[in-house]
Structure 1
Amino acid sequence: MAKRELPKHVYRQRNGLYFQRRGWKTRKIKADFGTPDFWKEYADLIAGMYGAPKVSTRTFGALIKDYHKSPRYRRLKPRTALDYDKYLDFFQAIMADANPANMQRKDVIRLRDTNAEKPYFANYSLRVLRVLMEHCVDLGWRETNPAKGVPEIKTEKAGREPWPRELLEAFRSECVIGTRERLVMELCVGTGQRIGDVLEMRWSDIQDGAIVVKQSKTGKELWVPILPELQAALDVASRHSVYLVTNERGTNRWSYRGASHAVRTVREKIGALDYDIHSWRYNAACELLEAGCEDDLIASVTGQSPAMVLHYTKKVRQRLRATQAQTMRAQNNPPRAR
């Protein structure tokens, strides 16, 4: 009997005919081919009368759920976990039912390139996928990590710089003392901390004229004296919540999204879109450098490593050093008579 005479999904093996369909349980057909009983049994198989199709429990949805319970996820800092969740939700939305064991390197590259017009999203999603697939390997669902070694999209992004003094003053003029935007700015510039740590600051953290900070990213605990500009903003701030900066109702801390959106609105008004919230941390480090502080003194406020202090202050440091060098050069070579 020619194979083409058999109906769809029916295949001849040595010991009889079998119903085989991808995702379904293979079943031997008992009736002889061509008989009424055969066609009835075949119709029942097609209709799923002998059990629903096999559904693999090893899906991306199950993998993401297990990853959320893992020590690898629980060790993430709160802000990092929040960032990861955005991309995990993205994976859940586009491939929850797919089997991660079937993902290949070419699929990872295709996923990255699909978002090439949004390099930050493409690269961050690749990092999270790399971690997720490593967890898949740990579970024994596959042997290798297909995202490992896949390069990120190269971007020509300008490095951050501190806000120019005139733009800082423009921000202060736009956001008077008593506004949340002004308080956030003075906290970021005055303490040199990340916005995530600033939004977590509480009134109970103020001790002996300083703010005690427990950095979420590094775990470092810092005691940072309060500058007059920051103290003026704190003196008029609302105290309806345990947090220094609250939401509109004053019931909880201000969210990162809310603060970022509000500050961006001001940046648009004053022409400061090239400088974001994180640039205020650069201001703190650079102001300390310009005040004559050595790197260890700068780090005592910002909590940064020596390498990061150099990174945050490199442009201002170069200008200061060049000015010093040229001044010394001029002093050593007095002007010649014309």
Structure 2
Amino acid sequence: MSQKAKREFPGVTAYLDRHKKRRFRFRKRGFSAEIHGEYGSKEFRANYEAVIRGHKSQNICIQDTQRGTINALVVSYYQSPEYVSLSDSTKATYRREIERLRNEHGHRLVTQMKRQHVVKLLEPLTDRPSARNNRLRMLRMLLNHSVEIGWRSDNPTNSIRKMRTGSQGFHTWTERELAAFFAYHEIGSTARTAVTLMLYTACSRVDVVRLGWQNVSDGRIRYRRKKTERFSEVVVDIPIHPDLQAVLNILSSSQLTFLETAGGRSRSPNGLGNAMRQWCNDAGLPDCTSHGLRKACATRLAEAGASEREIMAWTGHASPQMVQIYAGKARRGLMADQGFAKLRKNETGSKNAEPNKKGSSK
């Protein structure tokens, strides 16, 4: 890349992805975003301008903000190691709520915030418990950061509890729904390949679109989760289920990824999400999503008696907390069955012992 080209698009650097394809990324002050399109093309320029606008709105200079305000705190947080180390997808999720807060309340002074002020900020979302809890979570993170940088000595959100939502999160696919999907989408179709891959690997969308023959060896699939690969050396290393092997056997060995597009390009996570919505709708399964397959895999393992650590080896989680959420219902049912079997065994044993007891007294 020439010096002139570098000046034309400041902040852009080139790199080679794992397929040796040249890609471009904009980085500045903790802000990072992918630039799509051929370098210098009309598409590239449009994407670059959009990224610049995003950078300006989310990383305005500290001198342009009033010190001590929520606005300035957000700028500081975006430059913190905690935020910079997050994956791009997690950053985007956090930014959505943080930017709402900043647009509505950026002028407020952090040092003057008390518990009643936080409650006031949460009040408009009382009828939407999940949204309220998410805002509380973002406020808690921001105010924890204010304590770390010495703006406050306490965090007024610590005494505020989350609301009960009654939500179980993404719907877990049932065996009946899986059967319906497989009956509608034949083996060899991209839909069948995608669902089988996620069901038998517990992969998330962002990971499954990267899987290919490079991840297969000796009857196993090995990969690192994109969400944690920058700060974790954990490798998911799982055996290939026969049903998954049957699907893989149909795929060409020249494919770069298992779920590549008709044009031979890697499929994006969002593109897969949109396709999954259509595939599920076509099969008459409006409640089913790609994330529900990850939960279905964990549920199947739990129902088979797998321990939390064994399930974590499949899902790639670093702690059992999320596994308990994913497979808790199945685990409770399994334990209930085991407890019932012990109860029946004890009852049967007691009845068999009664005649012997009476006979011995004669």
Please report how far the alpha carbon of residue 214 of structure 1 lies from its aligned counterpart in structure 2 after TM superposition.
Answer: 1.8
Unpaired segments ≥5 residues, structure 2:
1-63, 353-362
Please report how far the alpha carbon of residue 316 of structure 1 lies from its aligned counterpart in structure 2 after TM superposition.
Answer: 4.4
Which residue is 1:280 aligned to? 293
Please report how far the alpha carbon of residue 59 of structure 1 lies from its aligned counterpart in structure 2 after TM superposition.
Answer: 3.7
Please report how far the alpha carbon of residue 147 of structure 1 lies from its aligned counterpart in structure 2 after TM superposition.
Answer: 2.6
Structure 1: distance between partners of 2:329 and 2:316: 12
The answer (yes or no) to whether the contact 2:140–2:158 under 8 Å persists in 1 is yes
Structure 1: distance between partners of 2:194 and 2:163: 33
Structure 1: distance between partners of 2:340 and 2:271: 41
Structure 2: distance between partners of 1:80 and 1:55: 25
Confirm or deny that 1:132 pairs with 2:146: no
Which residue is 2:244 aligned to? 230
Amino acid at match of 1:151: R
What is the CA deviation profile of residues 3-32 of structure 1, one whole-angstrom value per residue up to 9, with x for unaligned ones? Answer: xxxxxxxxxxxxxxxxxxxxxxxxxxxxxx
Which residue is 1:115 aligned to? 125
The answer (yes or no) to whether the contact 2:133–2:163 under 8 Å persists in 1 is yes
Which residue is 1:177 aligned to? 187
Confirm or deny that 1:165 pairs with 2:179: no
Closer, same or farther in 2 for the Cα pair 1:138/1:315, shift >3 Å? closer
Greater Rg, structure 1 or structure 2? 1
Please report how far the alpha carbon of residue 64 of structure 1 lies from its aligned counterpart in structure 2 after TM superposition.
Answer: 1.9
Which residue is 2:48 aligned to? none
Larger mean CA deviation between 196-205 and 114-123 belongs to 196-205
Alignment of 1:82-97 (within 5 A): 82-97=92-107
* Matched residue SS, 1:212: strand
Which residue is 1:313 aligned to? 330
Closer, same or farther in 2 for the Cα pair 1:210/1:138, shift >3 Å? same
Larger mean CA deviation between 171-180 and 110-119 belongs to 171-180
Amino acid at match of 2:186: V
Closer, same or farther in 2 for the Cα pair 1:320/1:279, shift >3 Å? farther
The answer (yes or no) to whether the contact 1:167–1:272 under 8 Å persists in 2 is yes
* Matched residue SS, 1:223: strand
* Matched residue SS, 2:290: coil
Unpaired segments ≥5 residues, structure 1:
1-53
The answer (yes or no) to whether the contact 2:305–2:334 under 8 Å persists in 1 is no
Closer, same or farther in 2 for the Cα pair 1:119/1:139, shift >3 Å? same
TM-score, structure 1 as length reference: 0.66
What is the CA deviation profile of residues 161-198 of structure 1, one whole-angstrom value per residue up to 9, with x for unaligned ones? Answer: 74222210111233333444433321221012344433
The answer (yes or no) to whether the contact 1:286–1:316 under 8 Å persists in 2 is no
* Matched residue SS, 1:278: helix
Structure 2: distance between partners of 1:173 and 1:271: 11
RMSD between aligned residues:
3.7
Amino acid at match of 1:284: C
